[in-house]
Amino acid sequence: MAGEDLLNLFSYGTLQLPRVQIATFGRLLTGSPDAMQGYRNELVEITDPDVLATSGERFHPAMVPTGDPADEVAGTVFKVSAAEIAAADAYEVSDYARTRVRLKSGIDAWVYILAKYVKPEV
């Protein structure tokens, strides 16, 4: 990763767990607290056996937009490589889709939210 441009990845769920980071990225990530305004969490039941084995959790949080700036989801923003974004894409089940957002801090980051709320890029 030395000399490589790093990307911001915001996690509010299982990608914050050390066991998931080791399994997905082969390392522990370092990050800083941040939040997304105008969203709240719902739970999604995970049935993918690989994701269940990695996370150890049957229900994962999934952000949904509310449009209310008073709603907020706390999490962590990590610096990752393009290859690590691809690894996160492979980890996330089809209920989620990756999209770019502006975090409360003003940082632009990738995040996974419920797929039905992600508009296809043109």
Burial classification of residue 72, based on how many CB atoms lie within 10 Å of its CB (0-12 exposed, 13-18 middle, 19 or more buried): middle
Is the pTM higher than 0.85? The answer reads: yes
- Is residue 2 in some structural domain? no
109 token code pair: 């980051």
- Is residue 122 in some structural domain? no
- For 40-77, the pLDDT digits (tens) are 999 989 898 988 899 988 898 999 999 999 999 999 99
Check pLDDT > 90 for residue 16.
yes
- Is residue 70 in some structural domain? yes
Backbone angles phi, psi at 39, to 5 degrees: -135, 160
Backbone angles phi, psi at 10, to 5 degrees: -95, 130
- Is residue 102 in some structural domain? yes
- Is residue 52 in some structural domain? yes
- Is residue 25 in some structural domain? yes
Question: What CATH number does the domain containing 85 carry?
Answer: 3.10.490.10
- Is residue 47 in some structural domain? yes
- Is residue 110 in some structural domain? yes
Give the DSSP letter of residue 15: G
